[in-house]
Amino acid sequence: MTRASWRERIDTARAARIQASRTRVRRTVTHRDGAYCELDGRRLLNFCGNDYLGLSQHFAVVNALQDAAAREGAGGLASHLVCGHHALHERLEAALADWLEAPAALLFGSGFLANLAVVQAVLGDDGVCVQDRLNHASLIDAARVAGCKLRRYPHNDAEGALRQLKSEPDACALLATDGVFSMDGDVAPLRELALVTRVQRALLYVDEAHGVGVCGPDGRGSVAEAGLTTAQVPLRLVTLGKALGGVGAAVVGDADLIAHLAETARPYLYTTAMPPAQAASSLAAVGLARREHWRREKLAELVARFRSRAALHDLELLPSDTPIQPVLCGEDARALAMASSVERAGYWVAAIRPPTVPEGRARLRVTLSALHSARDVDGLVDALAKARDLSAGSGSGPAVAGRDAVPA
In the annotated binding site, the residues are 24, 111-112, 136, 182, 210, 239, 356
Measured CA to CA in angstroms, residue 2 lies from 5, 280, 323, 404 at distances of 9, 55, 53, 37
Q: How far apart are CA 220 and CA 289, in angstroms?
A: 9
Question: Is the separation of the CB atoms in 177 and 132 below 8 Å?
Answer: yes
Q: Which residues are documented as binding site for pyridoxal 5'-phosphate? A: 111-112, 182, 210, 239
The CA distance from 143 to 150, in Å, is 6
Strand pairing class (362-367; 324-330) = antiparallel
Asked if residues 186 and 180 have their Cβ atoms less than 8 Å apart, the reply is yes
Cα separation, 49 vs 355, in Å, equals 20
Q: Enumerate the H helices of 5-53 as residue ranges.
A: 6-19
Q: Annotated binding site for substrate: which residue ranges?
A: 24, 136, 356
Helix axes 59-72, 276-291, angle to 10 degrees: 160
Exposure class string for 42-75: b at 16+ Cβ within 10 A, else e: eebbbbbbbbbbbbbebeebeebbeebbeebeee
Specify which residues 107 forms β-bridges with. 250
Q: Where are the alpha helices (DSSP H) in 201-248?
A: 222-225
Question: Regarding beta strands 235-239 and 36-39, do their DSSP bridges make them parallel or antiparallel, or are they unpaired?
Answer: unpaired
Residue 193 contacts residue 269 (beta carbons within 8 Å): no
Rounded Cα–Cα distance for residues 17 and 14 (Å): 5
Residue 371, judged by CB atoms within 10 A of its CB (0-12, 13-18, 19+), counts as buried
Q: Are 402 and 25 in contact (CB under 8 A)?
A: yes
Contacts of 347 (CB under 8 A, 6+ apart): 44, 45, 47, 379, 380, 383
Closest by CA position to 136, among listed 149, 155, 120:
155
Q: What is the 3-state secondary structure (H, E, C) of 318-358?
A: CCCCCCEEEEEEECHHHHHHHHHHHHHCCEECEEECCCCCC
